[in-house]
Structure 1
């Protein structure tokens, strides 16, 4: 998304060449492939851990930090923690590239002479940046916080924040640029407020 926004705003005349169907297929394949390899690596690591504290976790789904709490093997635990640290580094690197592309976008947007053009460009970019920031910051917190700072209720809240909230916000945020949807939401809010009075 960040690259799409970057090309659309900073290099609009090259958009068709830089983001043709072939480039989109390559980017989608890279995202799906790395996601699959990442999942496979974690699954193989967690299935190789001996669990000595039962098999019940205090979570909505099988979270790696929760499974690590059940492990009785220090070597397996350290191996998985190393994978998580490498993952955090890669995630942070991706986040830095996203931020750098948005810095370039904002520099280009601030050079747009019309206020309406700047507003349109910012409204296109800021929601994506907010959702990505929410996802990455809560995922970092969930996976890299010290075990002593952990509590079951905090773990549940953080898991919901990074696994449910960003995907739920995406359709809402991106569809709010649609004029008909904005009008329908305003009308719904007005009807709700006037019926309560």
Structure 2
């Protein structure tokens, strides 16, 4: 990347606007992060240890939980460090790395959700051929394709963003290196760059994956309507309800931030929305799937019971040694 700019570090400023609340914010964000990790790790363990959940739908859910766990770590760990330190500076390489992983994992999440919608269509449209069409190899290839596409798009974005010249203010009005607050500081940011970033970040990732999801659900609805029994229609829709809920939450916040026109006075609104989709959405996803899915609830209860038995055995052995 070209580095002929006079600015070589940024300052993440937004939470500095609340100096008296730094301690409280640290506690709230820390426990939110611990809860997100516990919820997503529980989902991943339940899927990994329960043979009844070794199906394509839960394989994609495992990948989504894994990806969202690392997405939050990329952002929240840095926020926690900044809340404890007086210096909020972040270097160009650190900023580029954070942006790369955030958008790479974010793009991966979008296309995994699209793969999950296609999986639901296949299960409903061809239930007898479903095990043949959705083999472990096919699921793995879809997962890898989502990851590769996310990485490539993220590389294109950071190449554009960090080849700009930054020669003025270095204060990012955000709590992480998001696209709009960073490029707003560039001296040579033109409509060409704006259009290129919009195509990669918004049109291709968000709109592209949304179109794939909508097409899948159009076919799902057309198949379900033709089903003769009410019970069959209800069962088909119930298998999609968790996915539709997660899609609505995920894209609702993301589209609000990345599809609307950007001005400097909207950065505070974007920052508040970013708190939601970096901290709340990764927590809601495992909650939605665990509350609305009987198989998942059963698997989580088994893990809880096994964990309780393990700790009781440890406690019993400790008492015997004493």
Q: 1:50 is paired with a residue of what secondary structure? A: coil
Q: 1:178 aligns with which of 281, 284, 294?
A: 294
For the structure 1 residues 127 and 180, does the alpha-carbon distance in structure 2 shift closer, same or farther, using more than 3 Å as the test?
Answer: closer
Return structure 1 stretches of 4+ with deviation > 4 angstroms. Answer: none
For the structure 1 residues 115 and 24, does the alpha-carbon distance in structure 2 shift closer, same or farther, using more than 3 Å as the test?
Answer: same
Q: Is the 8 A contact 2:227 2:233 kept in 1?
A: yes
Structure 1 counterpart of 2:199 = 85
Deviates more, 1:39-48 or 1:86-95: 86-95
Structure 2 counterpart of 1:47 = 162
Q: Is the 8 A contact 2:245 2:288 kept in 1?
A: no
Give the TM-score normalised by the residue count of structure 1: 0.78
Q: 2:234 is paired with a residue of what secondary structure? A: helix
Q: For residues 28-43 of structure 1, what are the structure 2 equivalents within 5 Å?
A: 28-43=143-158
For the structure 1 residues 146 and 80, does the alpha-carbon distance in structure 2 shift closer, same or farther, using more than 3 Å as the test?
Answer: closer
Which of structures 1 and 2 has the larger relative contact order (alpha carbons within 8 angstroms, sep 6+)? 2
Shift of 1:180: 8.1
Structure 1 counterpart of 2:112 = none
1:26 equivalent in alignment to 2:150: no
Q: 1:74 is paired with a residue of what secondary structure? A: coil
For this pair of structures, how many residues does the alignment match?
A: 182
Q: 1:12 is paired with a residue of what secondary structure? A: coil
Q: Is the 8 A contact 1:112 1:118 kept in 2?
A: yes
Find the aligned partners of 2:222 and 2:184 in 1 and give their Cα distance. Answer: 46
Give the TM-score normalised by the residue count of structure 2: 0.50
Gaps of 5+ in 1: 185-197
Find the aligned partners of 1:84 and 1:106 in 2 and give their Cα distance. Answer: 31
Find the aligned partners of 2:168 and 2:246 in 1 and give their Cα distance. Answer: 36
Query: Any idea what the Cα deviations from partners look like across 1:153-185, whole Å, max 9, x if unmatched?
Result: 311122234333332222111112126849x9x
For the structure 1 residues 171 and 110, does the alpha-carbon distance in structure 2 shift closer, same or farther, using more than 3 Å as the test?
Answer: same
Structure 2 counterpart of 1:195 = none
Q: For residues 1-197 of structure 1, what are the structure 2 equivalents within 5 Å?
A: 1-75=116-190, 78-90=192-204, 91-148=206-263, 150-176=265-291, 177-178=293-294, 181=297
Q: Is the 8 A contact 1:135 1:161 kept in 2?
A: no
